[in-house]
Homo-oligomer: A and B are copies of this chain.
């Protein structure tokens, strides 16, 4: 513990976090600063392509079978996160089950920006990890969204007595895979495996990664401050859930990572990536899927909880926390 605290505090001073807080402060002070939406879309595309390329190049140069167990772990975590929301948030007074399950689905789904934030911080802290861990993204993202929509449909079906209606799972999976975030990452993975993108990677995607990430953090911070108003309109339980869920999910992911570490030699750094993927909540690709899949849930509740509190907690607390723990375990 005495080893851990200074490492945690050092992680808190990272520029990534500074840019996030800067964005929150700027928006809270009512600044007219705005990064155009097209720039935001390009930056998201750029970061996820880069993460995908890194993963694809790593998979090309590694043993494909290594990825199977961690991928199964990611699927399990995604489903468990939705179950947790169903039986904690969903049991609280004044919270409807569809709202609880939709929020759990969004917190089980993955944020590309949070994933983009943890990787350079692991590099800076010199904690090694398997580069393909980023490719675990869709293995947690899609099961969480599918589980949330299925659970909400079963609940509504039971309540209204229409138990005959079957939930179509394939359209949910397809929609998730076709979302721009997952497409960009999978395109990067495919190009990394099948072509030799190293000249483009070294001259463009790698050097500009930290800079575009910093700009994205400012955008995420401004977005969080703006969503705070929406969150005020719904029950405060959503805010409490949004604060603690990333930390609980992070420990769940880290625990699964450590079990894999014992069994297969999966790295401690890889466990940090798995923890942060679990801690993150989707801000871009998840909401439209949930809006279509659970139309009775209130978007102000789940989007407000995720964007205003979940993402800042994942970036500002969970990333430093798990890197600090990893450094302590590695005996720094």
Contacts and interface: CB of A to CB of B under 8 A. Distances in A.
A42 to B, nearest CB: 5
**Copies of this polypeptide in the complex:** 3
A210 B214 contact: no
A207 interface: yes
Nearest to A211: B204
Interface in A10-68: 13-15, 17-19, 22, 26, 29-39, 41-42, 45
Contacts of A330: none
A179 B279 CA distance: 35
A45 B22 contact: no
A15 B184 contact: no
A31 B199 contact: no
Contacts of A36: 37-38, 41-42
A127 interface: no
Given A22-B187, A199-B210, 18 more contacts: A15-B191, A15-B198, A22-B191, A31-B179, A32-B183, A33-B180, A33-B187, A35-B45, A36-B42, A39-B39, A39-B41, A120-B199, A187-B218, A200-B211, A204-B208, A204-B212, A204-B214, A208-B211
A203 interface: yes
A203 B194 contact: no
